[in-house]
Structure formats: structure tokens, C-alpha cells
Structure 1
Amino acid sequence: MRPNYVLGGRYKILKALGEGGMANVYLAHDLILDRDVSVKLLRLDLRDDPHTIKRFQREGLAATELVHPNIVSVYDVGEENGMQYMVMEYVKGMDLKAYIKKHFPIPYQEVINIMEQVLSAVQVAHEHNIIHRDLKPQNILIDEQGTAKITDFGIAVAMSENSLTQTNTVLGSVHYLSPEQARGGMATKKSDIYSLGIILYELLTGTVPFKGETAVSIAIKHFQSEIPSVREFDPRIPQALENVVLKATSKRPADRYETVADMASDLKTSLSPRRASEAKFVPNLDADDGETKVLDKSELHSEAVNQPLEPKATADSSPGKSKKKRRHRRRWVALLAGLLIILIAAVGLAFWLGRTQTVSVPDLSGMTVQQARDKLTAVNLDTGSVKRQTSTQVKKNRIIKTSPKASTQAKQNSKVNLFVSDGPRLVTIGNYVGQSYTRAAAVLEAKGVTVRRQNRSSSEVPIGTVMQQSVATSKRIDPKKETVTLTVSAGQRELTLATLIGKTKSAIQRYATSESLNVTFNYKYSNDKKDTAIEQSPGGGSTVREGSTISVTLSRGKRPVDSSQPKVEDFSVSVDIPFEASSSSSSDSSSSSSSASESDVNTVQIYVRDHDHDYSTVYKQLTISQDTQVTIPFAVESGKSGGYRIVRNGKVIQSDNNVTKNSH
């Protein structure tokens, strides 16, 4: 996969991160949510296997349900041009294999902290009936904050079916393979526990327990050889901590921890001084492993040879002696039988009295933590860990569920873990003002928030830009209950221009001000009343945008017939009006000095003194966002001069009181 390729029209490939047995991994950028992600592409040689593809898709979708701080989140699963891909959270850091190599020896407490995070993640997966099947340090990532995150839930099943046939790629996995998997059996939750025990072994010793040149030779050692002692490697390791390794890696699944939660509970107290004198864990080696045993002929012969033979009667044996021996033998038999009966009865009684009492776990749903503790104490059960989860159905600070589940049997005085509601999942609202609506809406909708659009005209904010938001920045909301309204700029307002013919100059100026229009006035002789409009451009009824300039011609009155009247000359003067940027926009601008931010404008008034105007009224008002040139028409009597004054943002910036036809 080449860099800059956009996968699914959304994920831009940046670079390759690594290659695995099932997939190649790339760093990509999500163009919609503007974040880095990790993309896994199913390997080319597996893309034609419909069974593998089906597994890849199904397990990837199942992994999207696993929401946990110690599980790499799966965002998306898709296909493009025959390429199966999975989009996951990008974790910046290293895998646990590299972490062990870099930091070994690792302090025991840190080892336990890492394992507790991993165990917590696997427990959530098991509660969703998802078995990882390929737990190993290479599939556990450690980010820059030291948080452990498990990955590759999505391809574990597909990989298990190709494991021992791909010797080169599975060599890293077979070091952590359970005995039942090595025999070709089906992986269970206890298979994951075995792999977790091997990972704990490697954290404590820096190496794996079994090594070999081939995957098959290592797999054979897993179901034939005992796990080496970690205390022989490091005698300072407490026996209780070694016992966690030994129990988790027992050959028989029945000898391992029942659940990942049990392993986590045992590991948590392994450094406690109260367990300093704990004996070494020994699995039940005499237990029947369920396999049928077949004796060959040599074994049968050996059994027959070892059977005691009845003594033959000899010539010296007399009837009296025989009777006395038989009576003596019967007494001993009766005595032994009686003792045996007493022994069996005593053992039975001891077993009956010492048997583990079980109780039914009560239903604690909807209770507070204190109420749940009281209820557990009443039935001789202890409170275990208290974990918090988001919930839309259960009120905050109330029990969602327990582990073990309600109505199941548990040993007296055993611990019951509580899952407490944190209420609905709340989303933190960012500041979207100034962003494009498309981007802001995509970010909010990705968080599950419903977005409503509201348009508003604006001459200052670009079209499509968010002007306001209904929810304040940093506020946390329940996306199921609250909607966010974004007010978006629709650009400058359009209006239908009124007919101005016949209106006076002052009335036209008031109209232009109320509708945010710029107006310029021209004059010519007419039989119409002086200072009333006789022409306009654009004409009445035209559609114009707010801020547009309209031109209006006013009547100068009737042309004088008396030749003694002074002659009026018409001419125009061009004036450059500089734009003044605010301090904030000028410091941020990367363009030329004549431009400004799109939301920054200057208000300019132009005053004219000539035959038809004086400084008492505004000749023209306009808004500018950059340096602007305007043309001012003058009507000046022969031998006289005109004048103009430019006011920008309330301050006079230019003026000339001696304007003639030849002066400009």
C-alpha cells in the first residue's frame, strides 16, 4: 500500500508500521475526524480464502463491541478492491515485547500493574464471549503514559486456523500456545489464561519458558514439559507470585484459574507479607485427564505375575491346625473390616463437615454499593472489586450487574465483583465557532450527537462557517437526550431594491442605511423638483446583496436661461482610501498588508462640498475590507473650487478644500 493512498475515501495512508502473520499494519490519517489511526490490511495470500475473509469481518465487527481503556478500539471494518481492512485506534508507543527488552528487569509491582491492566481487558472480552486465542507480548501495546492496550482481537480466530501451517509467522505465537491448542484442540477462555501465565513468566524472567528451532518442537514442549521455575531464575520472587504463574500454566485446564478475574484477584495479593510462607502450588497430578488408557499384553502379563498365589496344602497340614488358622484369619479379617468401616465413616464425616458451603449470589441490580455490600454480607459473601461503567438504563451510582452473575452458586466468603453505573455516556462539546459546518457536524456526529443546522445571513462571516453553537464549550451532555444547534452563515442577505424615483435625497439616504446599502448621487438638470430622484441603477424591483452600491441621479432643477448665471463644470476625482486592520487581525494575517481577516471591516463616510452639496450631509457611506479607490463626482462653478472629507471609523483621514477640474 503506497503512501497518500486514500482508503475508503477517508483514511489517507501515511506509512507502514509493520507486518504480521495475518495482516500488514499502516499509519493513516482519518480525513473526516482529523486524527491518526492504525489500518490493518489482510495479507495478499489470504484475500482469496472466503472462510478467512468471513472470520476477519465477523471478528472485527465483534471487536468493535469491546470498549475498554486497555483494549485498542476498533473504529471501522471494510473492503475496497478486494482488500479487507480494519481501522483501529493508533497507540503511540511500543509493544510489550520491546518494552520488556528495553526495561528488564522490571520491578515486581510494575509487573503486577501491567498484568492487572491486561487481565482487566481480557475479562471484558471473555464477558462478551470473545476469546483472543493469540495473546502474546507482541499483541499488547504500551503507550507513552504506560497504559497497556491489547490488540488483534479482530484477527485472532482467522489466525488460529493457519497457525502451525505457517511456521515462519507463528514462531512468535507458539511460545504462548496452550497445551490443548498445541494438540489441535479447541481454544477456550482457559487457553487465554495459559497464555497470560506465559506472559507473566516473561515479564519476571525476560524470556519465554520454552525455546526451539521449529514451531512444532516448541508446541510439543508445552504439553510434555513442566514450566521452569521463575524462582530458580530469581530467588527473590515471592512464592505466591510464582504460584500465579504455575497455576495459570497448568497442563490440565481444570487446574488453572476458573476465570481471568480469579487470576487477577490472586495476583493482586501476591506481594502481600501475609502470603510470605505460602507453599508451592502443585497441580492434581493423580486426576484423570479424561483420556482412555489401553493396556498392552505385556502389561496384562505383569499384572498376572504380581497377583499373590494361594498356598497349596502340604502333607504336614493337619485338620486341627487348619481350623485354628482359619479362625485366627477370620478374626483378623473382621478386625480389619471393622477398622476400615470406621475409617471410611470418619473420612466421610470429615468430608461432610469440611465441605465447602455454597450460596446463591443475590440479585443486586439497581441497589447502591452500600446496599449491595449489606446484602452480600447477609448471605456470607464478600465484596470484591467495584468497577464503573456507563449505562443508559441504570441510574448513576446503582448496580448494573455482578460477577459471578445473580442466581449462580458461589463459595461462602468468596468475593463478588460489582459493576456500578456512571450514568449515560457523556460527550464533551468543543468550540466549533469559526469552523466549517461540514467538519463540525462530522466531529459531533462521530460522538453520537444529533446536530441541527440553522442558517443566518452575514456580511462578515464566510458562507458555511459556524457563527454560534447552542451548547457552551467544554459542557458535557447526554447525546441521547440533547441536540446541538449550529448557527451557520448563509452569506450576505439579498433584498429586492425599492423604487426610489421621486424620493428626496434624505429619504434615499435613510433607506440605504436601513438596508445596509451604499448609495452614490449624480446630478443633472431636469424639470423635476430639485433634489428628487429622477434615475436609479439598478432599477426598482432588482435583487441586490446587502452592502451593494446603487447609483441615484437627482434633479438639479431647471437649466437656467439667463446667460449671466455662472457656468457649472462637472468632473470627477479618484481618491484612495487605505484600510486599517485591527491589531489582532494584522498580527495573525499571513497575506499582504492591504488585506484583512474576513470578519474585519472599516466604515467610511464621504462628505462633499460643491454646487449641489455641503459638508452638513453625508454624500456616500460604505464599508471596506481592503484598500479601496472611490470616484467622487463634482459640480463646481467656474472660478470656484470644491472640497471633500473622508472619515474612517469616526476619524477624518483625508480632506481637500481646493478641488478644481485641473487640480487632480
Structure 2
Amino acid sequence: MMEAGYKLGGRYRVIRPVGEGGMANVYLAQDLILNREVAIKVLRLDLQNDPDTIRRFQREELAATELVHPNIVSVYDVGEDNGLQYIVMEYVSGADLKGYIAAHFPISYAEVVRMMTEILAAVQQAHAHGIIHRDLKPQNILVAPSGHLKITDFGIAVALSENSITQTNSMLGSVHYLSPEQARGSIATKQSDIYSLGIILYEMLTGKVPFEGETAVSIALKHFQNEIPSVRKIDAGIPQALENVVLRATAKEPSERYESVAAMTADLKTTLSPLRVGEPKFVSQVNNEETKILPRIDPEQFNTSSAAPTSAATSTAAAPTSAAATTPPSDKNLQAQKQKRPHPWIMIAGLLVAALIIIGGYFVVNQLRPVAVPNVTGMTQSKAESTLIAAQFKVGATTKKSSDQVQAGRVIQTTPAKSKKAKHRSVVKMQISTGKQEYVVKDYTERSYATVAAQLKKAGFKVKRTTIISRSYANGRIVQQSLDAGTRVIPKGKRITLTVSVGASGFSLLDMTNWSQASVQQYAGSMGFTLNTKYDYSSAVQAGAVMSQSPAAGTAVARDAKITVVLSRGSQADGAPD
């Protein structure tokens, strides 16, 4: 472990360790040249002596510097310091996806799709550059405070791919997401990354990995021997279309998986669409038993075989007890008996048709009968979807809206509204809360105070105005603000102070308390401000003198300002005239 303050490569000063794994140790450091925080990943000491690992490590990380994408952690530099191999990367504050899932599960299906789409976009960019990650797992995906995701460790995964099976700690973390072909020792391909992406999606939907075991080997065996458990058995509210993405991405045979990350992305984006409700479950064709071909039955053969038992039964029932009984009936009598007696299959078919008509009629009546939309207001999106599906409604598109009353991620209302009657299988749309509406403070300097204040008050701010004499800003223009531009705040009840210029000709208002009315008028005439006079009773201030003023003494005002003074009428007991 490197101590805080150590200068790596003569440029990066170590601040503190931020992570420790089976492959490398990660430190937060300060780039002394560019004056920015960076993350430095230092290859573990026991791997520093393997020249092949070092060579692959450097080659792949240099290739990773070409991956410029908003969802990929940028690699700034690769170097060596006293035998220590290190990588300098973009520093992303926040948790990894593993910790995020643990802290926020259950995650709404829409949010899972959004997050997974960002992960897929990053992997698609890497694949386009011929780089296969080989070690995709939630621990290698960082979640920024903004909610955006970034994938890391493209190069180090490649460098350590040959050694990871022998590194117990590293393997236990990776084997949960390992493709069957990698578990068998085969070369990893783009489809191997797609398998790992399917396992990550499984974990985001269920909060756990599909296979557990005491050893890495036992888990690896399950990946190429056991079928992926159904996510819908864990959460029945998950749409079948979304489960199908998991099943197809994690198919045992690479040929059955998505041909590319782009194809997986396109499929994932439509999984919550009402058009895909009722989609059949994805079934692997490779793992299914071969279809059995039944032998063709000739109609004549069927008639012969079905007639035989009838003839035998007739013969047995008509066993002779006398010579007269043994006389065979004529052909005409036999034909008449066959015509009178209905065939048993016809009777059974008739009964089945009647039953189907009754059952079908029952279901048709029930399907046509309107039912009340369940009240899902205040539920999480995933729970609301499960409730609607259980009530035999289809879940339609969702819309987002800010709300002061409903917590973020929960349902504000539905269309049709709760308790309204609607047909079975009809579509119910939901409005999801984004929480209290945030307001992004802008740069208001040099803008008109009257215009800005009106906008801020309408948004819910409490606006306080202070004034200043300025030679640089015209009268009525904002000089500075108490909240910096770019600050995101909930405006309701939030105070913001705007400092406004009164121009270069402005002046500081004198204290006019106890002045006579004549003195006040003379002062107004000399300074140019408009005087507004009011009256009130006062036992402390003599009649005709100033009791109070607005603005207060010392306030910077413009020459054309409007100043209000309150003159005393004396004590009300004196009976001063109104």
C-alpha cells in the first residue's frame, strides 16, 4: 500500500486508497500538472513480476485510451514507478453497480432499462474498436452521483484473463458473470461479453446472481450445466419481453445469443412497450430434445381398428344358447343397427363442443365485463406494474412529472384513473413522480432585476433585494447573486439574494428620523428622488416630524427612487386633526 503524499511518477500525489481488489489497488490522487483529481490503479505486487502480464497490461490499456465514450472511464496515462505498473484514469465519485443494487433494490423496470442501455452503449463502443472486456461485472461499473454509469477495467481484464482462474479472490468476483465457453477454457468473444451483460441484467432485476456456490469451480460448472433461473418466478411483474432479453443473452450456445450488442440494445429498449405484452417465452432450440415424428395413421387403418372391438363385443354379447340363436342376421339388419346406434366418438365430440361453448361463453362474458382499475397511487413503479398485470390489465407507456407530494419513482396517477371501470386487458398508463422539481439557477448578472425577480418568485423562490452603487452596471441591473449559476435547488421557499446596481449617480440615503416635513422636501428636491408621505400617531415623535422611512437609512438608492416617510400626528390623546 502506498502512503498518502507519495508522488507517483513525479506527477501524481497520492491522497488516499479508495479500493482494493484481486487485481489491483486503487488510489485517489491529485494530478499536479493539470490540477485535477484522478484515480490510479496499481497492479498488484504478486503480478508485477510476470513480464507477459505486464506486456499485455500495457498494450491493452494503451488501446483503451482510444475508447472515448461518456459511459467509459477515460484512461489518461500508463506508467511505471520503481517497478510498479500503474494506470491513471478518470475519477468517478460514487458507488459501483454492485453496491448500488444492494442499496436501491428493487429498481424500477424503466430505470433498469435506462441503466442497462448505458452499459450496452459502452460495450458496443469497445467492440467497435475490437476490444472485448472479458470481465464484465457490476464491480467494474461505476454509478456517478448523477445516475450515469461508466465501465472501467477494459485493459486490466485482458491482461489478467490467463491468471484469474488461479486468483481465488478475483475469480470468485468474476465467475458469477463468466460465460460457459470461458468457464470451459475457450477464447472469449463478443458473445462472451453479451452473456456477462445478461447476468448483470438478471442481477439488476432480481437483486442477486443466478448461481451461487462455495467455490469458483462449482459456480463455473453451473454456468455451462444449469439453465438460468426464471426472473419472473422471482418477480412475476417483470414483463416476459424483458425476461426474454435475459434468456437470450445468457443462452448456453453463443450462436443463440444476440449477434451484437447493438441487437441486444434494440431489443431491450422495446421490452416495456404495450405492443410486446403477451410475448411467448424465449426457449433455446439447442438444448431442447429433438422433435419426435409420429407415424402417419391411414384413415382406413383407423376405421378398421376402431370397428374391431365393436364386432368382438357384439359377438360376445350374442353368444348362442340354442341352435336358433346361432343363425347369423341378414346384411340388411346389420346395416340398420349401425345406422341407429350413434358412434361413441360422435357423442364425445358433441359433449366437448358443448363444454367449449359453455366455457367460452363464460370467459367472453367475463372479458367483456368492465372491472375497476386498482389504486396504485404511491406505489413504486415495479409494484404498480405487478398489481396492474395481476388485475389483468396491460401496462402502457409511463410519463414523468415532478411532484411535491409523491416521492420520486412512485406513481402519481393512472389513466384510466383509479376505481374507474375498464375492460380486461385494456391498457393503463402511469404517471411517475420525479420528486420535487429542481430548479437550475442561471447567471443573472447584468440582467434586469424586475424581470428576474418575477421569474424566480413564480418558480417559488423568496427573493431578497440589496442595492449597491456601481459604475460598471446600469441602474436596475443585477451585480451579483447569492446562489451560484448551475446550482440545482428545490425552489419552494428557497431564499435568493440579488444585489442590484443603482447606477453611478446613486447615493446612500440619510437617516431622516425626526426631520421636519420641510427638511425632507428640501432633501428630496436636492437629490432628485420622489417623496411619498404618510401619517400616523406617535407619542414619542412630535407632530410634523419623521417617524420612519423606507428604504432604511444607509440604503443605496437611485436618483429617481421613490422614498416613503411617515410623519407623526402627535399623540392620539391630544386630539390632533386627521
TM-score, normalised to structure 1, is: 0.43
Q: Larger RCO: Structure 1 or Structure 2 (Cα < 8 Å, ≥ 6 residues apart)?
A: 2
| Structure exhibiting the larger radius of gyration computed from Cα positions | 1
More helix, by proportion = 2
More strand, by proportion = 1
TM-score, normalised to structure 2, is: 0.49
